Amino acid sequence: MKTGDKIRYHRIQKGITQEQLADGIISKSYLSKIENNTAKPHRDVVNLLFKRLEIPSLEEDTQRIKEINRKLDEWYEVVKSRDKDNAIKMEKSISNDISRIEDTTVFIRFRLFSLRHHLLLYNFDESKKIIQEFKALEKHLPDKQKYYFYYFYGLYQYLHNNFSESLDYYSKAEKIGYQIHIDEPELTYLISLVHTRLNHVTLAIHYANTALDLSNQNMDYLRSVETQSILAINYMRIKEYDKAKHHLEKSLKITEKHNDPYLISNIYHNLGYMYSKVDQHDLAIDYYHKSLNLKKGCHERITNTIYYLAESYYAVKNIEDATRWIKKGLKITEKYNIITNQIKLYLLQLEYNIDQEQSRKYIEEIAIRYLQEKQNWKELSEAAEKLSNYYANQQSYKKSQDYCCLANDARKNIQM
C-alpha cells in the first residue's frame, strides 16, 4: 500500500477531515497531493501524520514488515518439512500479526503460503477459495508471486489426481523460477513425482536425479529417501532391477536408522513390487504384509498395497487369499471413494474371472471415462486391453477390436 493511500485510508477510518489531519503540520492542499500520491513528502512529515493517525511510524512499520516476512519464511519452511503441529501454531500467530499490517505485498505472500499450508492439511475447500482469489489476480501478479501460485496450484491439481494439469502448472512455475533465479528442491522433486505418475520414465529419472543431488546437498534425508524411491520405481519400469534394488536398500538403511514407519512402509511396498517383477512372489508377499503392518490411516496407500498383494497371491495360485484381499480392498475404496485403486481392483477381478459381469460393467461405465478425463494413458491402455481380452473370450469380436484400438491409441500418448 502506497504511503498516500495508507494515510487516506486511516484518516477516513478515523473520521478525520483533511483540515484536521493537516492542521499544524502541512497545508490541506499538500495533504491532498500526498493522499493522491502526486507528492513525495519528507519522512518527518509522514511520521507526524502517522502519529496523529495513531499508526506506527515509517521506521516501526518497516521493522514490523521485516519481522513478519521473517516469520513467513520460517512458517513456509515448517510447512515444507510437513510438521503439521508447528505449522498450525505458526499460522495462528502470523494471522494475528497480518491483521495489523496494511502492506499488500506481505498480505499476498501470507495468502500464498496459506494455500500451501492448507494443502499440507488437505483442507481442500479452503485451498480452493484461495486459488479462486489468485485466479482473479493472476494477470496482475509479479513474477515471484506467480511462481508460488503456479507451484502450489500444481500441487493442488496433483492431490486431486489431475496429473497433466499438475505438470502444466509446475512447468509454468519452473520457467518463472529459472527467469528470476529461484531454485527450490521441493519443486524439482514434485516434478519428478508427477512425471512418474504420468509414466514419463526418462523425464522422471532426470528430475529425480537432480532432486536427489539437491536433497543431499541440503542434508534432507527425508526427501533423499523419497527421491530414491522414485528412481527405483522408474528403473523397475525399464527393467533395470539392480539399480532399483540399490536405491531401495540404501533408502531402507537410512529410514531404519531414523525409525520412520511411514517411509519404511513405502520402501517395503516398493521392495515387494520389485520382487514381484522378477517373479519372486513369496518375497513380494512378505514385503507387502510388512508394509501393510506399518501403514496407518492413509486408505489410498493401504489399498494400493492390497492390490499388489492380491496380484502376487494370484501369481502363486493362492486364489482364496487373493480373492479375500481384493474384496477387502474394494470395501475400503468404496467407503472412502478411492477411484484409482478401485479401478485397479476391478480390473484384477475381471482378469481372474471373479464377479466378471459386475467388474466389466464398472470398468466400461465408470473406469474408462474416468481414466480418459484424467488422461491417465497407461492405466487406460491396460483397462482397454483387459476389456478387449474379455470380449474376445466372449467371442464378441467387434467390441474386442474397439477396445484394442482404444488401448493402442492410449499407448501412443504415453511419453518415455
134-162 mean pLDDT? 94
19 by Cβ neighbours in 10 Å (0-12 / 13-18 / 19+) ranks as exposed
Integer Cα distance of 186 and 189 in angstroms: 5
Q: 130 and 65, same structural domain?
A: yes
Integer Cα distance of 289 and 284 in angstroms: 9
- Check pLDDT > 80 for residue 213: yes
107-128 mean pLDDT? 95
Integer Cα distance of 115 and 126 in angstroms: 8
Q: 18 and 78, same structural domain?
A: no
> Could you tell me if residue 15 is inside a domain?
yes
Q: 65 and 122, same structural domain?
A: yes
Which domain does 22 fall in, by range?
3-55
The grid coordinates listed for 316 are 502363486
> What's the pLDDT band for 312 if we cut at 50, 70, 90?
very high
pLDDT of residue 267: 96
> What's the pLDDT band for 105 if we cut at 50, 70, 90?
confident
Residue 289 and residue 325 in contact, taking contact as beta carbons nearer than 8 Å: no
- Check pLDDT > 70 for residue 395: yes
The last residue of one of the domains, among 96, 114, 140, is 140
**Where are the extended beta strands (E) located within 80-228?**
none
Looking only at Cα atoms, what is the longest distance across the chain? 97
Q: 411 and 362, same structural domain?
A: yes
> Could you tell me if residue 74 is inside a domain?
yes
121: phi then psi, degrees, rounded to nearest 5: -90, 5
Q: 66 and 136, same structural domain?
A: yes
126 by Cβ neighbours in 10 Å (0-12 / 13-18 / 19+) ranks as middle
- What percent of the chain is modeled with pLDDT above 90? 79
> What's the pLDDT band for 195 if we cut at 50, 70, 90?
very high
Q: 72 and 25, same structural domain?
A: no
Q: 7 and 33, same structural domain?
A: yes
| Nearest residue to 412 via CA among 377, 371, 366 | 377
Domain count, the chain: 3
> Could you tell me if residue 261 is inside a domain?
no
> What's the pLDDT band for 98 if we cut at 50, 70, 90?
confident
> Could you tell me if residue 20 is inside a domain?
yes
Residue 223 and residue 186 in contact, taking contact as beta carbons nearer than 8 Å: yes
189-209 mean pLDDT? 96
> What's the pLDDT band for 59 if we cut at 50, 70, 90?
low
> Could you tell me if residue 197 is inside a domain?
no
| Nearest residue to 6 via CA among 58, 44, 42 | 58
Higher model confidence: residue 71 or residue 54? 71
**Matching residue, cell 529425480:** 208
Q: What is the mean pLDDT of the chain?
A: 93
Residue 114 and residue 137 in contact, taking contact as beta carbons nearer than 8 Å: no
Q: 391 and 378, same structural domain?
A: yes
Rounded to 10°, the helix 104-120/58-80 angle is 20
> Could you tell me if residue 390 is inside a domain?
yes
Q: What is the pLDDT of residues 16-27, one digit of tens each?
A: 999 999 999 999
pLDDT of residue 110: 94
Rounded to 10°, the helix 397-412/377-393 angle is 160
Which CATH number fits the domain that encloses residue 118? Answer: 1.25.40.10
Integer Cα distance of 259 and 218 in angstroms: 20
Q: 87 and 136, same structural domain?
A: yes
Q: 104 and 31, same structural domain?
A: no
> What's the pLDDT band for 415 if we cut at 50, 70, 90?
low
Q: What is the pLDDT of residues 332-387, one digit of tens each?
A: 999 999 999 999 999 999 999 989 999 999 999 999 999 999 999 999 999 999 99
Residue 380 and residue 372 in contact, taking contact as beta carbons nearer than 8 Å: yes
pLDDT of residue 109: 94
> Could you tell me if residue 238 is inside a domain?
no
pLDDT of residue 183: 85
The last residue of one of the domains, among 14, 40, 55, is 55
pLDDT of residue 1: 61
Residue 113 and residue 72 in contact, taking contact as beta carbons nearer than 8 Å: yes
Q: 68 and 26, same structural domain?
A: no
Q: 108 and 44, same structural domain?
A: no
pLDDT of residue 58: 63
214-229 mean pLDDT? 91
